[in-house]
Chains A and B, each alone.
Chain A
């Protein structure tokens, strides 16, 4: 089954404790992206990657890191999480070309930073 998977689905942590949220897709997509979703603000793009070893900042990259060493994986790293990073996070992937616009989303990771 073609899908985007994220782990963990739920995470409660404390301020300053480094964490990684994994994202993997099995559709051989070049483009991958991370979003956070907050009430009243919709989805905001954190980082995206056009291909392996190619990443770029979205609109809200502060406090996050990403890496793209393999095509299928795009982990999101929070080196020192803070309470304002409490949010619902989505990973997405798509093919290049005109299908950039058809992004397939993972199920989401709900993160709480205390």
Chain B
């Protein structure tokens, strides 16, 4: 079983829809939780990060962490065609060093 599970999609939505992207994890040692966006043929870029359980909002993006359920989500409101990309969740555990574990990534298509 992978430490971090993420549905690879693809997920296709119409412009303006609310998008929900999710990851589950199995290791309680994960401390930091991040969402990266990766456009085709580019390196990932950080969208949001959080340390604690709860919600964090940044513009059209909301990151949610539920440590008790080992579940994180990214919500995108009023989705735009420019949001079409692969979204990767990532987590850092500080047991045995600072290792970063990424989910497989969910490919999102937003249709105009």
Contact = CB atoms under 8 A, between A and B. Distances in A.
Given A90-B43, A101-B32, A44 B92 contact: no
B44 A59 contact: no
A21 B32 CA distance: 29
Contact of B45 (A58, A100, A105, A108): A105
Given A42-B88, A101-B34, A105-B43, A48 B105 contact: no
B104 A41 contact: yes
Contacts of B8: 40
A75 interface: no
A42 B45 contact: no
Interface in B44-85: 44-46, 49, 51
Given A43-B88, A90-B44, A107-B42, A102 B49 contact: yes
Interface in A54-108: 56-59, 90, 92, 98, 100-108
Contacts of B45: 105
B20 interface: no
A102 B46 contact: yes
A13 interface: no
Chain B contact residues, majority secondary structure = strand
Contact of B104 (A40, A56, A101, A102): A40
A108 B104 CA distance: 17
A43 B44 contact: yes
Contacts of B92: 100-101
A58 B99 contact: yes
B57 to A, nearest CB: 17
Interface of A: 4, 31, 33, 35, 40-45, 48, 50, 56-59, 90, 92, 98, 100-108
